[in-house]
Structure 1
Amino acid sequence: MVRDFSLFTSPGMGPTPDGDPHAAVACAHDAPSIFYSPNNTRDGRGTWVITRAKDQRRVLHDTATFSSHRSIFASALGENWPMIPLELDPPAHGIFRSLLNPLLSPKRVMVLEPAIRERAIVLIDGISAASTSCDVMTDFAFPFAVNIFLRFLGLPDERLDTFVGWGKDLLHGEGVKRTAAARTIVAFIDDLAAVRRKEPTDDFMTFIVEAKVDGRSLTDEEVRGIGVLVFVAGLDTVATAIGFDLAYLARNPKDQQLLRREPDRIGLAAEELLRAYSTVQMIRVAKKDIDFEGAPIRKGDYISCATMIANRDPAEFENPNTIDLAREDNRHTAFAYGPHRCLGSHLARREIVIGLEEWLSRIPDFRIKEDTAPITYGGHVFGIENLILDWS
């Protein structure tokens, strides 16, 4: 049941020019439905790898057996506090989830939508006025997606590049660079919380420092755990999703033309692209010894539920490695599953759809610029960069 596999170091995980890490991980379905990988974490720790979507859903739903508390961020600092609510188990998880849900509800996202669309239009019109090509990650995807989150957090746009740099070092850097980024982010969140306690405004951090759970104020550690999670979550994932989507459409002109002719299809297409280009690996920790589908999982073992593997499951999706923009009943787990399903999924979906709508309506037929190649890479969060699009 042991297999040499890693989302960090296996072939195709990069950084690779013109690579396809999603196709590379699809080969996991050629193995047993669950196997042990000796080095499937950043620090080389082994995990059990769950390949079938139905088994991943079972793990992610069973919070009594599989814990979310692993301090993946804090451990980089030699500390042991949870990102909240991501790394909390019930009942504490439900208390904090109820506190935060209204901030990112569908109703709240509807209020934000005009600002989201305006931001996309301003960026794209600026790009098209200046040139017939661009580095779409640097010029559009990050400034678009991260700006929306910074507004939500009440942070200034002028530091966007700095914040994105911290996120890249944290999620994709190694060793000293990753640790330094983690320390910088923690210090920033702690300082921001201190400022908002003294000078409250109408923003997310003010809400958190003034919030109460069970009739008490949040501790400094709880404020930090929430702030770090929301800050880090907004720096990479939505921008990366938009990048993979535009890279696909650049390479597949027929599908690009389909969405131009029939923009009403973009919402459905975005779901298929979320399935095909999922980017996040969830880790759980076994609370007790358990025999799981024949695997002797022991208390303390790590279990990997990688969305990019589950969403290429042939038992779940017909022709899973074929991208079908008209695919119906798309039960993908790009935003995870169960009680820890992504808090920001409603906002992320609207950002992706609006970004694609405005790009396709304002930029002529585009392709990957000749003599350039996007760089892709695996890891806890998959990524893409150097995506140079051309419409000359």
Structure 2
Amino acid sequence: MAPNPVPDHVPPEMVRDFSLFTSPGMLPTPNGDPHAAVACVHEGPPIFYSPYNTRDGQGTWVITRAKDQRRVLQDAETFSSHRSIFASALGENWPMIPLELDPPAHGVFRSLLSPLLSPKRVLVLEPAVRERAIALIKRIVASGRSCDVMKDFAVPFTVSIFLSFLGLPDHRLDTFVAWGKDLLHGDDEKRQVAARTIVAFIDELAAVRRKEPADDFMTFVVQAKVEGRPLTHEQVRGVGVLLFVAGADTVAAALGFDLAYLARNLKEQEWLRSEPDRIAPAAEELLRAYPTVQIIRVAKKDIDFEGAPIRKGDYVSCATMIANRDPTEFERPNTIDLARQENRHAAFGYGPHRCLGSHLARREIVIGLEEWLSRIPAFRIKESTAPIAHGGHLFGIENLILDWS
């Protein structure tokens, strides 16, 4: 897809040939490191315009400094979250809730959903999460001394947790994984088909739960009230679709990048194995080094921001992978230091929209690493194979074949 023309109000000297989708290191590459490739933006200006930096070929302003990203993400008066990313694939315009709502509606829905993903609630879910990790790893160990870690562990582990949250059986797992893959990484046609399928599924599940309540997330949503009124059909759909999208890929990708790093760094792998209490802080450093999400806002009004003439309707990119390699924020940002202190990373965003599922995501990653390291001996990337990493709206990794023979 050809990029859209650069708007007239963007000074030519502020345009830079950069894209999270197409720049060197972003396209699927064997042994690629898109996170390191992105770090090069810090050699240039703190804010610039990229003519092609979204799925649909739109340009964005790129905010490179973490402190400037925080300013954007905390200023909902100036920068809107409402993009209808999912609905636009269907030619529609409803928000995923609460991700694409602005205050005050955002706060109302966030307060409604927060208790379902609070640290207290995650503590209750933790035994089931650990049980799931153990079951998958035991199956891997029983079947040999190598595996495709994304297919055999990271994806089924994280997606099955989201399925149980929705109250759905594991036997649908492969179907949901395929939908998620088409939605997030397929071409326009696959994306549209997946989006329609997911919407129909969420609508059907909501209808079933209205008639047959259960102890699950969707029952909570269809029975919930906001300001004394039940949620509308579209609001239920917006919440359900967000849960689907959030559960489909991000945590699995993070876990994949973590295991790829450890497979290439045997000393650190052994250090964590021998001192498991260091896994939780190490996971924070891996979240800093390998975040997966580009956050985009839409300017609600004209603003001159750090010398950039941002105009109403312009897209503003706050990519977590750029903020997390900011040399003004982190000492030696391109060195992965699993004992790093003071780790104020941006993997879960900032401000009122900071990731609602961050507590659960953190525990999934830590538990996944704990159980993997306690059950799998020293592992490497299998000889004559190469993991394939890519950039984009969501960074990812596949073909990660680990071997411990």
TM-score of the superposition, structure 1-length normalised?
Answer: 0.99
Hey, what does 1:336 align to over in structure 2?
Answer: 349
CA distance in 1, matches of 2:186, 2:329: 34
Hey, what does 2:324 align to over in structure 1?
Answer: 311
Moved runs in structure 1, 4+ residues, more than 3 A?
none
Hey, what does 2:239 align to over in structure 1?
Answer: 226
Q: Give the one of 81, 97, 102 matched to 1:84.
A: 97
Q: Give the one of 77, 96, 121 matched to 1:64.
A: 77
Hey, what does 2:43 align to over in structure 1?
Answer: 30
C-alpha deviations, 1:195-229, integer Å up to 9, x for none? Answer: 11111111100100010000000000000000000
Hey, what does 1:162 align to over in structure 2?
Answer: 175
How many percent identity over aligned positions?
A: 83
Q: Give unmatched runs, 5+ long, in structure 2.
A: 1-13
Secondary structure of 2:85's counterpart equals coil
RMSD: 0.6
Q: What amino acid maps onto 1:311 in structure 2?
A: N
Post-superposition shift, 1:279? 0.4
Post-superposition shift, 1:30? 1.2
Q: Give the one of 341, 352, 360 matched to 2:365.
A: 352
1:322 aligns with 2:364: no
Counterparts of 1:1-392 in structure 2, within 5 Å, are: 1-392=14-405
CA distance in 2, matches of 1:164, 1:138: 10
C-alpha deviations, 1:136-167, integer Å up to 9, x for none? Answer: 00000011111111101111210111101111
Q: Give unmatched runs, 5+ long, in structure 1.
A: none
C-alpha deviations, 1:300-354, integer Å up to 9, x for none? Answer: 0000000000000000000000000000110001001000000100000000000
CA distance in 2, matches of 1:114, 1:276: 28
CA distance in 1, matches of 2:341, 2:166: 35
Q: What amino acid maps onto 1:368 in structure 2?
A: I
Greater CA deviation, 314-323 or 192-201?
A: 192-201
Post-superposition shift, 1:130? 1.1
Post-superposition shift, 1:31? 1.5
CA distance in 2, matches of 1:104, 1:39: 35
Q: What amino acid maps onto 2:166 in structure 1?
A: L
Secondary structure of 2:16's counterpart equals coil
CA distance in 2, matches of 1:193, 1:3: 45
CA distance in 1, matches of 2:218, 2:107: 20
CA distance in 1, matches of 2:29, 2:194: 24
CA distance in 2, matches of 1:275, 1:103: 25
Post-superposition shift, 1:280? 0.2
Secondary structure of 1:95's counterpart equals helix
